[in-house]
Amino acid sequence: MSGNVSKRLRASSGSEIRRAAAGASEAAGAAGTAGAFADAAHPLPPAGGLCMSSEGGVPPGTAIADATATASDARTAFAANTKDAKDTKDTTSRPSLAAANHATGPVRPGALAGLKIIDLSRVLGGPYCTQALADHGARVIKIEPPAGDETRGWGPPFLDDDAWYFTGVNRNKEGIVLDLSRDEGRAILWRLLEDADVLVENFKPGTLARWGMDYERDLRPRFARLVHCAITGFGADGPLGGLPGYDAVIQAMAGLMSVNGDAGGDATRIGLPIVDMVTGLNALAGILLALAERERSGVGQSIDIALYDCGVSLLHPHLPNWFGSGRTPARSGNAHPNIAPYDSYRTASAPIFLAIGNDRQFARLCAHLGVPALASDPRFIDNRSRCAHRAELKASLETRLAGRDGETLARELMAEGVPCGPVRTIDALACDPHTLHRGLVVEMGRYRGAASPIKLSRTPATYRTAPPTLGRDTRAVLDALGIDAATQARLADAGVLKEAKPMAT
């Protein structure tokens, strides 16, 4: 980089940068809360259209407050002893998904307010982690390469140019584009790190070192308080160190597929990217641990999170069972390897899942099904006996379940303290009154997503800005750094940075 460019990039002092960045962040949060991302050129269809009753959906224009009241009126405890919907014609509309966005009042600082996170991660594990940080008040600046996070193209479905896969884990973030393979791009990253608390990245091991940004050699001496979180497939060393890791590959290599699937069938991938997501959660935990320790020591540290390690950590109870017995766990379908009855069961309608955890629950189940003597049958007298006679037990139960409606039976059993639930589809789950009551769906303009499940009483999660379009915040972030418009234009022409395309009108 030329000396002149370097001087221009350092035009503002650290304190000025922090003040400008804080002001920009507060302004962006206020604008997002006010609904600035509800694009008038692309109006959102009524949310109720996704949750249709037999009589139609929520009328267009239903206000969030009205929909919240509708959800409150509509919800019933799952265990309520009410008639099944099949027995009475439902003439009420489903509540709008908007009912779930409870963060509509004055914005309160989140639990992590004041923290600045630089997010270089892509795909799922890292973004899953940083969205959780952002939901709880941290300022997250997501830096993407000029081509963008590859998950922007992982569709259909798409929201304009971005796949809903991408939008699912990238809300509440500022999005900028920098080519970090270029000296000028890295110079801007160095500036952003000056007052950062956390750096999250999932590059192949050695990438940052080649760029002169190795944690021990380069970052730690310059930024003593910085917490660095590196997410990799297999770690940086060892027999598999440095190799790329993907969720499905880790599911296969870490043994997860070997215990998933029907008995006697093929090993099966779990139907969602469980390894990526638990890696994100472990990264979140690691970051919070390092920040807590920093309060005592005053210094940061590096966190090593590998998908392989996280996959192995999920092998409960199969790995402990192998340690104890020496027998290789086998696939058993939906059945639990240690408990019975703990399986899915056919009914006259929807299948149900019974999760009987003790003998008292089993006795209640048998009594409700009209066969109390089954609980005292020597084959089923306790869990060890039931596990030894799984096939007979399942056949006996399904004979008595064959004529029952699954939804009704599940409500009745739950009311009696027997863990049971209907096997539901995604659309049924998203539109369920309890889902709405718990605030598990967020709407901001045209964006919809799953809300944070972490519910804090004084500092709840807030939903301030929709996921960024590619380069949406490049100009604002660089302006806050004191980088003038002429320099930004030159760097954009050179391909070092990119600003968002103007929104279609």
CA distances (Å), origin 180, targets 145, 190, 203, 314, 452? 7, 11, 12, 34, 31
DSSP result, 280-291:
HHHHHHHHHHHH
Q: Does the active-site annotation cover 276?
A: yes
- What is the rounded CA–CA span in Å between residue 33 and residue 464? 5
- What is the rounded CA–CA span in Å between residue 378 and residue 374? 9
Q: Report the greatest alpha carbon distance in the chain.
A: 88
CA distances (Å), origin 295, targets 222, 243, 458? 19, 35, 21
Among 135, 149, 276, 473, the one annotated catalytic: 276
450 contact partners, CB below 8 Å, separation of at least 6: 168, 440, 441, 442
- What is the rounded CA–CA span in Å between residue 301 and residue 212? 18
34 contact partners, CB below 8 Å, separation of at least 6: none
Question: 494 near 35, Cβ under 8 Å?
Answer: no
Q: Could you give the 3-state DSSP secondary structure of residue 497?
A: strand
439 contact partners, CB below 8 Å, separation of at least 6: 100, 101, 102, 451, 455
Q: Angle at the Cα of 243 (from 238 to 246), degrees rounded to 5?
A: 125
Beta strands per DSSP E along 35-88 = none
Q: Which residues are catalytic?
A: 276
